[in-house]
């Protein structure tokens, strides 16, 4: 099994999520550990090199980057997709 480091840029946002949503994301992140580069989850444009995890029923998205040399998942942002707010915030954060 691969060793994985998860770096949270979104700590405050993560803590505000209901525990049921966090648990759903944790299950999906466990799959990311085994296969970090999931083609259907690739983001494009300004977020090229990033991936998304979607919780369709909750309408929440999580954007992340994978740093292969260290097998690090950098959680960038989490939030609603409405008006692309979650992706706009991700763009700002990866530029910093």
Residues with a catalytic annotation lie at 52, 81
Q: State the Cα–Cα distance between residues 16 and 21, nearest whole angstrom.
A: 10
3-state secondary structure of 29: helix
Asked if 15 and 82 count as a contact pair (C-beta separation under 8 A), the reply is: no
């Amino acid at each position: 099994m691969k060793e994985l480091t998860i770096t949270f840029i979104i700590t405050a946002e993560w803590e505000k999520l209901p525990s049921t949503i966090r648990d759903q994301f944790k299950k999906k992140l466990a799959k990311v550990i085994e296969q970090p580069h999931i083609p259907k989850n690739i983001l494009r444009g300004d977020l090229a090199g990033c991936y998304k995890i979607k919780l369709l029923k909750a309408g929440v998205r999580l954007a992340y980057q994978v740093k292969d040399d260290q097998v690090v998942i950098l959680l960038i942002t989490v939030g609603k997709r409405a008006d692309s707010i979650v992706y706009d915030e991700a763009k700002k954060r990866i530029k910093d």
